[in-house]
Structure 1
Amino acid sequence: MPTQTLHLSGQITVTDPTDTTVTVATMTAALELMAKRPYPAPIHVQALGVPAAMRDDVTANGWILEGTTLIPSDSPATATYTLEYGSYRVQDPHRAGNSSAVALHQLSTVLQSAADRTGLDTTLVSDLPGIRTLTATPAAPDTAMSGHLAAATDTSEDPGHPATVTGQMATPAAMATVTATVSVSTAEAFATRKQARTAASAPAQEGWRGALNRVLGTKLAPGQQEESTRTLRATVQQGLAGHRTAVVVNIKGGASKTTSTYLLSATLGRVRGGMILAWDNNENSGNLADRALPAAHSHTALDLLERIDDFTTPEHADRLAGFIRPQGENRFHVLASQNEAGDKEVIDATAFRKMHAALRQFYGLAIVDTGNASTAPTWQAAVDVADVLVIAISNREDAARRAFTTIDALRRQGYGDKLNNAVALITQPSNPNATRLAEIEQTLDGHIRATVTIPFDPALEDGGEIIWEALHPRTQHAYLRATAAVIEGM
């Protein structure tokens, strides 16, 4: 019987023993990078975050690198290098364009859809270590058709979004049905398309290649790390149809929610620009303002709420100056939480929704920090409006446990679709536990769309004002990856 083969590829982030990360576009490049580093043999390599449903038998213990070849190993030794994958794409030789972005939890659906569409036994292969081969056989015609019709009836809660399947990117087979029933303006489709970026082919600006280009006037091409950075920046900069909101959650205090809120917003401001708002929606008294640049006033969200009826049209934007706190070169605004600590909500769910409806006229993107009570109506109201949920997790036992309690609470409250599109940011402490990190990632598998590990940074340890320029470059790059993952979900 005729068969077809799909190919899964993705960017590979290589982390060495010094916690330095380099992101490359191909496995060949990753192998060459690891092989040329001066680390003593045996060089152990392990892949992190590979979903259980896709994991082959050797991923748990990994491989030993010999030359540029990975040899399966049954040794549980600490890895010299770790590999993390992202920006997955599936190449389908039978489809126009033949390459499309995909999330891992969609692969089985994409694979089955390809088999049903062509009537061929279909195999998905990948050169990413640790990911096994998947297969699918065509379903009976009536079964396939009923699945496609069911997908076509799913609609988004936000009329600004095209219809999606299970709250996520529509699968190739379902997309043809969905787009036939949803009216999308041609102007919107053109404005939000993924354009071929001329910057991607521009001469190198970073590293030794960039230095030579500046000094000698050469036009050396960028290296793999700079190419990866450009790809991430292009993702962050892509067009969005209307306002989008990301909400950062974890019912555990001290889980880096506020740090994540600030640095996601700073990355958006520095890379994307435009009107970006970081909003502290703590049900009592949050500390986002303590981590931010000070303002000439002490007004908070509570003060804005008292005047919110003054902000009825975008022409009233100048009046926001007395309520928000500009963040200088980070190019975003902070809206501080109410500063009245206690056990009584001052801003309730209705007030939050009213403020959000007004503020989305002025800001293209909002990152909302939340408090520690999943039962608080203002917390639930924030989750209601979220286009993407960000689960903030510290690689500590208590913070990880509370993060999974948060996930359970979200699922019980009916936010399963939003969880499927969520991004987890795992922040490393000064003494990271590699075993627990792997366990956190494994437990997250199947619950969310993407996971990004944020390295420990002494510049963030004391809980004081966050200064972008004081951050280690690897921290800045990790937040670029995190921001790109958030934008991909929008």
Structure 2
Amino acid sequence: MTLQQHTTPVITAHADQHGTGHITIDGATQPLTASSLDAARDHIITTLTTLARTHQAPVTATTTDPDGTWHLTVDPTGHVHAEPHHAAPPAAEATVAAAAPQVAPAAEQQTAPAAPQDEAPPLRDGRRSFLTQEQTEEPATNGWRGALSKVGIRLTPSEQERAERADAHAVSQHWPGPRTIAVVNAKGGSSKTPTTILLAAVFARFGGAGVLTWDNNQTRGTLGWRTEQGPHDSTLLELLPQVDRLLSTGAQSADLAHYVHHQTRDRFDVLRSQPTNLAHEQRMAPEDVDAIHAVASKYYRLVFIDSGNDESDPMWLRMIDHTDQLVLATTTRDDHAEAGALLLEALAQRDEKSAQLARRAVVVVNQANAKSSRADLELVASGYRSLVRAVATIPFDPAMVDGILRYGSLRASTRRSWLSAGAAVARGL
């Protein structure tokens, strides 16, 4: 594309969250296809630098992406100046200066009388500790602010990036003592298993090891089908006879590798049920749940339990007795949403602890069907907001439909939604 030597080109650029968009130069549009949004931003800056060198003068572009609208000016050396579309007026600095306390001239200031020489001031009163620390905010890493930080222009993060950092901080915490999170809904297919897996992945990826998912299901739980298998076929049926040994003082955490399946990318472990057996062949009693939970809470800081569909099952009820945080999983289907609401109502009538779990629950609404819309997602979410402590929504993602679930395989927007859901759970622990 050739530019006239003395004409300043009119340039606009647009990129979506997937890195797809366009660059328009003097009315001529060329497509932009990059591997990610950050790669698209790099491409835009490279294009502007090339144009500036060809034109032998700075060029200015108006860019639009999920972070908003920015005005970029790039000179032939590649130096970038950027400001948001709604930049604060220069008068802001004068306003700040005017608000600062005024200091009287030296002649008008009164000198306080000196303390008597024989009176030592108190050691603590009025002295500022040398240990006081002021936290310095890290520069932006996302959006145009992050792109410019990479080339040496230090910018503070946007509000969106600050919110993401706060969510990441929430799920990175370690709590004193183990915590148990039960993922429930009385309707099958309501996204309990994906919710269990991806919440565990969020906590393990950001907060480190010590996270277990447990398939507490007597009717062919599928947690093992959606997660990576280790070098063995063990399930909770093989673990149960070893409970006493695993709870003994001589047991070691590595012994659990015989019975759980480690997720090499998402860094949590899976305790499978046996989905190929009939229910009566793996029937478990409440005391079995107690035994497994004792082992799980000895070796893991967080235990996520993927539950069955029968809330009257003694095994299901015993799970509730061990639960610290309830997560209700649902899709946008009416029957899934209604089943979840009915379950909350039933728990509210069971006992005080169950009622408190219901009131403080987190609802995760998954747009599991590509044919459903964002409006469907919001309709279900709005119906739950008055019933529980927090509601999180998850957009449709093809990587969640079938096969083994991995957090890294999801779209960036989906990962951000799961991080937000995880933070909502963490704030209840």
Alignment TM class, shorter chain as reference: 0.5 to 0.7
2:312 is the alignment partner of 1:375? yes
2:303 is the alignment partner of 1:366? yes
Q: Does the CA contact (< 8 Å) of 1:236 and 1:271 recur in 2?
A: yes
- Residue aligning to 2:339: 402
- Residue aligning to 2:223: 288
Q: Does the CA contact (< 8 Å) of 1:292 and 1:466 recur in 2?
A: yes
Secondary structure of the 2:298 match is: coil
Secondary structure of the 1:295 match is: coil
The AA in structure 2 aligned to 1:440 is: V
Distance in structure 2 (CA, Å) of the matches to 1:219 and 1:37: 19
Change (3 A) 1:197 1:342: farther
2:322 is the alignment partner of 1:385? yes
Report deviation, 1:229. Answer: 0.9
- Residue aligning to 1:119: none
**CA offset digits 1:94-142 (Å, max 9, x no partner):** xxxxxxxxxxxxxxxxxxxxxxxxxxxxxxxxxxxxxxxxxxxxxxxxx
Distance in structure 2 (CA, Å) of the matches to 1:208 and 1:438: 29
- Residue aligning to 2:389: 449
2:245 is the alignment partner of 1:305? no
- Residue aligning to 1:484: 423
Match of 2:190 among 237, 255, 261: 255
**CA offset digits 1:301-322 (Å, max 9, x no partner):** 1111121111115752111011
Q: Does the CA contact (< 8 Å) of 1:281 and 1:371 recur in 2?
A: yes
Distance in structure 2 (CA, Å) of the matches to 1:321 and 1:18: 39
User: TM-score, normalised to structure 2's length?
Assistant: 0.66
Secondary structure of the 1:353 match is: helix
Distance in structure 2 (CA, Å) of the matches to 1:323 and 1:260: 22
Secondary structure of the 1:321 match is: helix
Change (3 A) 1:197 1:387: farther
Distance in structure 1 (CA, Å) of the matches to 2:292 and 2:207: 24
Distance in structure 2 (CA, Å) of the matches to 1:434 and 1:236: 26
- Residue aligning to 2:259: 323
Report deviation, 1:424. Answer: 0.1
**Structure-to-structure mapping, 1:61-460, within 5 angstroms:** 198=135, 201-214=137-150, 216-313=151-248, 315-344=251-280, 346-414=283-351, 415-428=354-367, 429-433=369-373, 436-460=376-400
Secondary structure of the 1:311 match is: helix
**CA offset digits 1:171-203 (Å, max 9, x no partner):** xxxxxxxxxxxxxxxxxxxxxxxxx995x7112
Q: Does the CA contact (< 8 Å) of 2:168 and 2:206 recur in 1?
A: yes
Distance in structure 2 (CA, Å) of the matches to 1:366 and 1:438: 29
Q: Does the CA contact (< 8 Å) of 1:313 and 1:361 recur in 2?
A: no
Select the structure of larger CA radius of gyration: 2
Report deviation, 1:365. Answer: 0.4
Secondary structure of the 2:252 match is: helix
Distance in structure 2 (CA, Å) of the matches to 1:222 and 1:435: 30
Distance in structure 1 (CA, Å) of the matches to 2:364 and 2:191: 9
- In structure 2, runs of 5+ residues without a counterpart are 1-15, 20-64, 71-84, 87-132
- In structure 1, runs of 5+ residues without a counterpart are 1-16, 21-32, 39-66, 69-195
**CA offset digits 1:228-277 (Å, max 9, x no partner):** 11111111123412100100000111111000000000001111113000
Report deviation, 1:355. Answer: 1.1
Change (3 A) 1:376 1:443: same
Q: Does the CA contact (< 8 Å) of 1:284 and 1:346 recur in 2?
A: no
Change (3 A) 1:326 1:34: closer
Distance in structure 2 (CA, Å) of the matches to 1:35 and 1:260: 28
Distance in structure 2 (CA, Å) of the matches to 1:289 and 1:36: 42
Change (3 A) 1:437 1:255: same
Distance in structure 2 (CA, Å) of the matches to 1:434 and 1:399: 17
- Residue aligning to 2:60: none
Change (3 A) 1:416 1:309: same
Distance in structure 1 (CA, Å) of the matches to 2:69 and 2:348: 44
Report deviation, 1:331. Answer: 1.0
**CA offset digits 1:331-388 (Å, max 9, x no partner):** 1111111335434352221101111012211100011100110011111111111110
Secondary structure of the 1:307 match is: helix
Distance in structure 2 (CA, Å) of the matches to 1:269 and 1:35: 28
The AA in structure 2 aligned to 1:418 is: L
Report deviation, 1:440. Answer: 2.7
Q: Does the CA contact (< 8 Å) of 2:211 and 2:269 recur in 1?
A: yes
Which range moved further: 420-429 or 311-320? Answer: 311-320
Distance in structure 2 (CA, Å) of the matches to 1:443 and 1:486: 19
Q: Does the CA contact (< 8 Å) of 1:282 and 1:369 recur in 2?
A: yes
Change (3 A) 1:466 1:437: closer
User: TM-score, normalised to structure 1's length?
Assistant: 0.58
Report deviation, 1:487. Answer: 0.8
Secondary structure of the 1:367 match is: strand
Report deviation, 1:404. Answer: 1.8
